[in-house]
């Protein structure tokens, strides 16, 4: 999703940020972050591969009553984890585009769920946020690898498997590092 005139160190909204294999921040180790906002004032996104094992119905019967109870819940990031963010996406193959609905109200999500069976729904507890210049600095220090969205993999793979797969596609050399054991001495 890059404009060819865009500086490669600047991610665009809709890109994936893949945590570098050496990034050991407990909030982002082996993470895949969908960047949903990137402006001068800061950036926002959600972690796609940190499932909680919960569904929305377990958080509130209101979600179940709206037909959203079966939507899986993920940790979106360390910021404001009391907030639930609803999102849905799909690939539009004819147009080669990724369609994202982010931050939907439950009534909107319920309507979309009933009318568009191709949408993949996720709920996120909190989000990932970067202050002005912070994400650009992290990119310059190689904390993240920027990748295009892979809607198919995002729908089929979970946890570290999604991160490994996307890293192999984005940067095969770094992808090999994702296959190493955490403690090589235990191998």
140, pLDDT greater than 80: yes
Q: Tokens for 29?
A: 């180790």
173 contacts: CB under 8 Å, gap ≥ 6:
none
Q: What is the mean pLDDT of residues 96-122?
A: 92
Q: Tokens for 67?
A: 């037909």
119, pLDDT greater than 80: yes
HEC profile of the chain: CCCCCCCCCCCCCCCEEEECCCCCCCCCCCCEEEEEEEECCEEEEEECCCEEEEEHHHHCHHHHHCCCCCCEEEECCCEEEEEEEEEEEEEECCCCEEEEEEEECHHHHHHHHHHCCCCEEEEEEEEEEEECCHHHHHHHCCCEEEECCCHHHHHHCCHHHHHHHHHHHHCHHHHHHCCCCCCHHHC
Fold category of 16-179 in CATH: VC0467-like (3.40.1740)
Name the phi and psi angles at 84, rounded to 5.
-105, 125
pLDDT tens digits, one per residue of 142-165: 999 999 888 888 888 888 899 999
pLDDT score at 153? 83
């Amino acid at each position: 999703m890059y404009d060819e005139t865009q500086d490669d160190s600047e991610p665009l909204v809709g890109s994936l940020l893949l945590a570098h294999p050496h990034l050991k921040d407990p909030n982002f180790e082996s993470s895949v972050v969908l960047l949903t906002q990137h402006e001068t004032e800061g950036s926002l996104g959600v972690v796609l591969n940190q499932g909680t094992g919960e569904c929305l119905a377990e958080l509130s019967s209101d979600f179940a009553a709206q037909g959203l109870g079966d939507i899986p819940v993920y940790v979106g990031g360390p910021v404001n984890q009391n907030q639930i963010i609803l999102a849905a996406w799909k690939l539009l193959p004819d147009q080669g585009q990724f369609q994202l609905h982010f931050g939907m109200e439950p009534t909107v999500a319920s309507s979309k769920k009933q009318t568009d069976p191709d949408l993949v729904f996720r709920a996120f507890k909190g989000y990932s946020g970067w202050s002005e210049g912070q994400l650009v600095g992290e990119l310059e220090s190689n904390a993240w690898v920027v990748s295009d969205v892979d809607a198919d993999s995002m729908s089929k793979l979970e946890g570290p498997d999604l991160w490994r797969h996307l890293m192999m596609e984005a940067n095969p050399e770094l992808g090999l590092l994702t296959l190493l054991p955490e403690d090589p001495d235990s191998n």
